[in-house]
Amino acid sequence: GSPYSALMADFEFGRLPRDVSMLQKLSNVAAAAHAPLITAAAPGLFDLQSFRDLDKPRDLAKIFESAELIKWRAFRESEDSRYVALALPHTMMRLPYGPSTIPVTEFHFVEDASKPEFFLWGNAAWSLAQRMTSAFARYGWTAAIRGYEGGGMVGGLPIYTFKSDDGDIAVQIPTEVAITDRREKELSDLGFIALCYRKGSDSATFFGGQTANKPKVYVQDDATANARLSAQLPYILATSRFAHYIKVIMRDKIGSFLTQGNVAELLNNWIAQYVMLNDDAGQELKSRYPLREARVDVTADPARPGCYRAVVFLRPHFQLEELTVSLRLVATLPPPAAG
């Protein structure tokens, strides 16, 4: 069948052991399928009743140092946590029903909008998924999902205006809380992807792409940069897509008698068609040739006689922070010859 680009889970995960255990198991599935899990964090993970309290001054990092979250920290340090994206906060799904907002024609109905919790709030993971599908529709590539001009802007969000008790016009923004640049950086460092409202507009933006993974720190700067980059959702999506194609190519070769060298030549010739060395090319051209460099090394899989492992090194053009760093993925290939 056709591989999935990503898995959507309309759930929120908190700090309970069963939540972390389920997230760990889902990350194993996502990693095996090379399909990142797009889901959301619950306010309870931050020891909050509501994301509206997220703007209060507090050190979020200290919250995650508690003994209660030992399992959570272990999950973040696992390799498969790179395949989990946790979005926040809640987003307004629609305006309240009413004659001046969304009229109900069958009968007179005015929805109570006197308190923020009365609004219809939804999962921010859907907004992130929408950015992914938009990027794919435009470029055939899901990497452009971050930044106001880089594909991370979610527009056309509902804005609710009303008269305050003082008689002034007040606004209920379309995200449950307005997240500052400083708070967004703090959340990103903790493994979350925040949707940040743009003041005075009907839009919000995903500026970060950090997965739940906590990147390792190495002695060598290049290794640290590679670990940090490999924990970013755009690049997980990019490498996963190539893993899908490589597995399909080898699946179609089942029954053929290919040596290790033949497999390496086949895969390197295939991936070379997506490489372009011109760094000054436009984005449309880079969408057709998304890689600056690529190489596939094929080795025998010691755990599975007759099978190979493909180690793929990629350097994408899209939104690459570290031009000296390549992405690396390992894909287990089916045996090329019938047993």
How much is the average pLDDT of 299-316?
80
Which amino acid is present at 168?
A: D
Residue for token pair 């008689």: 167
Greater confidence, 107 or 180? 180
Residue for token pair 């999962």: 123
pLDDT tier for residue 250 given thresholds of 50, 70 and 90: confident
**Tokens encoding 207:** 């500026």
Say how far apart CA 328 and CA 316 lie, in whole Å.
Answer: 11
**Tokens encoding 254:** 């089942």
Residues 6+ away with beta carbon under 8 Å from 16: 44
How much is the average pLDDT of 192-221?
93
How many whole angstroms from its chain centre is CA 307? 31
Do 183 and 36 belong together in one domain?
Answer: yes
Question: What pLDDT shows up at residue 278?
Answer: 82
Question: What pLDDT shows up at residue 129?
Answer: 96
Question: What pLDDT shows up at residue 141?
Answer: 78
Do 171 and 233 belong together in one domain?
Answer: no
Domain count along the chain: 2
- Specify the range with the lowest mean pLDDT, choosing from 67-81, 142-156, 186-200, 272-286: 272-286
Say how far apart CA 246 and CA 49 lie, in whole Å.
Answer: 45
Do 193 and 227 belong together in one domain?
Answer: no
Residue 51 near residue 57, CB atoms below 8 Å: no
- Alpha-carbon separation of residue 164 from 52, 119, 172, 179, 201 (angstroms): 19, 17, 11, 23, 20
Do 116 and 91 belong together in one domain?
Answer: yes
Domain ranges, residue 70: 7-206
DSSP codes of every residue in 121-133: EE-THHHHHHHHH
Domain membership flag for residue 213: no
Do 49 and 160 belong together in one domain?
Answer: yes
Greater confidence, 228 or 123? 123
Domain membership flag for residue 215: no
Do 186 and 52 belong together in one domain?
Answer: yes
Say how far apart CA 190 and CA 164 lie, in whole Å.
Answer: 36
Say how far apart CA 101 and CA 157 lie, in whole Å.
Answer: 14
Greater confidence, 272 or 332? 272
The partner residues of 161 in beta bridges, in order of sequence, read: 171
Do 147 and 26 belong together in one domain?
Answer: yes
Say how far apart CA 255 and CA 40 lie, in whole Å.
Answer: 43
pTM confidence score = 0.87
Domain membership flag for residue 187: yes
Question: What pLDDT shows up at residue 322?
Answer: 46
Domain membership flag for residue 214: no
Question: What pLDDT shows up at residue 323?
Answer: 43
**Tokens encoding 88:** 């926040």
pLDDT tier for residue 334 given thresholds of 50, 70 and 90: low
Do 187 and 244 belong together in one domain?
Answer: no
Residues 6+ away with beta carbon under 8 Å from 45: 13, 14, 15, 19, 72
Do 175 and 296 belong together in one domain?
Answer: no
- Specify the range with the lowest mean pLDDT, choosing from 43-47, 127-131, 143-147, 287-291: 287-291
Do 43 and 74 belong together in one domain?
Answer: yes
Domain membership flag for residue 237: yes
How many whole angstroms from its chain centre is CA 93? 20
Do 133 and 200 belong together in one domain?
Answer: yes
Q: At 15, phi and psi to the nearest 5?
A: -100, 0
At residue 235, does pLDDT exceed 80?
yes
DSSP state of 48: -
- Structural domain ending residue among the three candidates 180, 206, 232: 206
How much is the average pLDDT of 141-158?
90
Domain membership flag for residue 281: yes
- Structural domain ending residue among the three candidates 151, 179, 206: 206
Do 20 and 131 belong together in one domain?
Answer: yes
Q: Tell which phi-psi region holds residue 312, choosing left (phi > 0), alpha (psi between -120 and 50) or beta.
A: beta
Domain membership flag for residue 157: yes
Question: What pLDDT shows up at residue 324?
Answer: 47
**Exposure class string for 139-170: b at 16+ Cβ within 10 A, else e:** bebbbbbbeeebbbbbeebbebeeeeeeeeee
Burial class (CB in 10 A: 0-12, 13-18, 19+), 198: middle
- Indicate the average pLDDT of the chain: 87
Domain membership flag for residue 97: yes
How much is the average pLDDT of 66-71?
94
Say how far apart CA 32 and CA 55 lie, in whole Å.
Answer: 37
DSSP state of 202: S
pLDDT digits (tens, 9 = 90+) for 166-201: 777 888 999 999 999 999 999 999 999 999 999 999
- Calculate helix-pair angle for 233-252, 260-271, nearest 10 degrees: 130
Residue 141 near residue 242, CB atoms below 8 Å: no
